[in-house]
Amino acid sequence: MVFNDASELYKCIGGLFVKGAQHEAMGPKVKASNIIIRFNYTQPEASLTIDTQSTPPEGQYFNVIHGDNDLKADVVMSMTSDIAHQFWLGKVNLTLALSRGQMVAQGPIQSIMRLLPVIKPAYELYPQHLQEIGFDHLLPEEN
């Protein structure tokens, strides 16, 4: 397992989402989707929710919530934490992961497709973020 526990996942991937929420290009795009997206992770168990509908903290375009909550998600993405980590490093073929069931997406395809434009900038942010928080040991060698 890449992450030893949920708190590490929240630091790394949750932190990436917060950076995305603060990002001048990504933040407004996600906000404009007006959807709630839940990411359910296993090994370790964790959950992150992107809430674009309620008022976000200052400096963010949307909320990032750690752990369980009662929000009704429009899109639910489920995967192992390792796949999530590899995905944000740009190492996972999204379509193949979905076809193989390594990632499971539930929700209307129109909402799922809304996420595509933010993936590319997030690929660039994630390695930077890992370095900034002292998790650069999780980066592949070429980074």
Partner 1 sequence: MSGYLGKILYVDLSKEFISTYTLKPETYREWLGGSGLSAYLMDNLLKDKLGFLDPFDPENPLIFMTGPLTGTYLTGSSRVSVSALSPLTGIWGESHAGGFLGKEIKAAGYDGIIVTGRAKQPVVLYIEEEICLKETPELWGLDTYETYDRIRGNGSYQVAAIGPAGENQVLYASIIHNKGHAFGRTGMGAVMGSKNLKAIAVKGEQKTPVKDEIAFSKLRRDLLEKSKNSLAIQMLTSFGTNGTLEIGHLSGDVPIKGWQEGEWDEGVESLGAFSYNEKILKGNRSCFACSVACKRDVADPINPNKKAPGPEYETVAGFGTLLFNRDLELVASANDLCNRLGLDTISASSTIATAIRMSEDGLWDESNELSWDNPHVILTILEKIAAREDIGDILADGTSRLVARFNARHLDLTVKNLEVPYHDPRAYHGLGLAYATGNRGACHVSCLTLNIELGASIYQSIDIPDDFQGQTSVGKAKLVKEAQDLGSVFLAASGFCQLGSIPFDESDLQSALAAVTGKEYSLEELRSIGERIWQKKREINETRKVDKSADKLPDIFFRAQENGGAKGSTPDIDLLLKEYWQLRE
Site residues (vs partner 1, CB under 8 A)? 90, 93-100, 105, 109-110, 112-114, 116-117, 119-120
Please identify, using beta-carbon distances, which residue of 96 and 133 lies nearer to partner 1: 96
Please identify, using beta-carbon distances, which residue of 2 and 46 lies nearer to partner 1: 2
Task: Report the nearest approach of partner 1 to the CB of residue 143 (Å).
Answer: 13
Helix (H) or strand (E) holding 134: none
Please identify, using beta-carbon distances, which residue of 99 and 128 lies nearer to partner 1: 99
Nearest to 29 by CA among 94, 114, 107, 103: 114
Can you list the positions of beta strands (E) in the chain? 36-42, 46-51, 63-66, 75-80, 103-106
Residue 62 in contact with residue 21, Cβ under 8 Å? yes
Please identify, using beta-carbon distances, which residue of 71 and 97 lies nearer to partner 1: 97
Task: Report the nearest approach of partner 1 to the CB of residue 116 (Å).
Answer: 4
Task: Report the nearest approach of partner 1 to the CB of residue 123 (Å).
Answer: 8
Task: Report the nearest approach of partner 1 to the CB of residue 60 (Å).
Answer: 22
Please list, residue by residue across 109-141, b when 16 or more beta carbons sit within 10 angstroms of its beta carbon and e when fewer do. eebbebbeebeebbeebbbebbeeeebeebeee
